Amino acid sequence: MICLILFLIKKNINMFKRYGFLGLTRLFVSLIYTKIFFKKARIIRLPLDIRNRKNIDLGENLTTGVGCRLEAYPVEDKVVLKFGKNVQINDYVHISAMQSVSFGDNVLVASKVFISDLNHGSYSGEEQDSPNTPPNERKLYAKAIIIEDNVWLGEFVSVLQGVTIGKGTIVGANSVVSKSLPPYVIAVGVPAKPVKKFNFVSERWERV
Based on the fold, state whether residues 25 and 45 are members of the same structural domain: no
| pLDDT per position as a tens digit, 121-179 | 989 888 899 999 999 999 999 999 999 999 999 999 999 999 999 999 999 999 999 99
* Terminal C-alpha separation, the chain: 56
Query: pLDDT digits over 188-206, tens only?
Result: 999 999 999 999 999 999 9
Please indicate, yes or no, whether residues 154 and 198 belong to a single structural domain of this protein. yes
Q: What is the pLDDT of residue 100?
A: 98
Q: Are residues 48 and 19 in the same domain?
A: no
Q: Is 50 helix (H, G, I), strand (E, B) or coil?
A: strand
Report how many domains make up the chain. 2
Q: Residues 4, 65: one domain?
A: no
Same domain, yes or no: 89 and 110? yes
Which of 110, 106, 108, 105 has its CA nearest to residue 91? 110
Ordered alpha helix ranges (H), the chain: 2-37
Q: Given this model, what pLDDT does residue 84 score?
A: 98
User: What is the number of other CB atoms lying within 10 angstroms of the CB of residue 180?
Assistant: 12
List the beta bridge partners of residue 158. Answer: 114, 176
Identify whether the C-beta of residue 58 lies closer than 8 Å to the C-beta of residue 40: yes
Same domain assignment for residues 140 and 198:
yes
Least confident residue range of 14-18, 90-94, 108-112: 14-18
Confidence of residue 47 (pLDDT cuts 50, 70, 90): very high
Across the chain, how many H-helices and E-strands are there?
1, 22
**CATH code of the domain covering residue 108:** 2.160.10.10
Q: Are residues 28 and 54 in the same domain?
A: no
Q: Do 24 and 89 fall within a single domain?
A: no
Indicate if 101 and 32 belong to the same structural domain: no
Containing structural domain, residue 18 = 1-37
> Same domain, yes or no, for 50 and 32?
no
Give, for 48, the enclosing helix (H) or strand (E).
strand 48-51
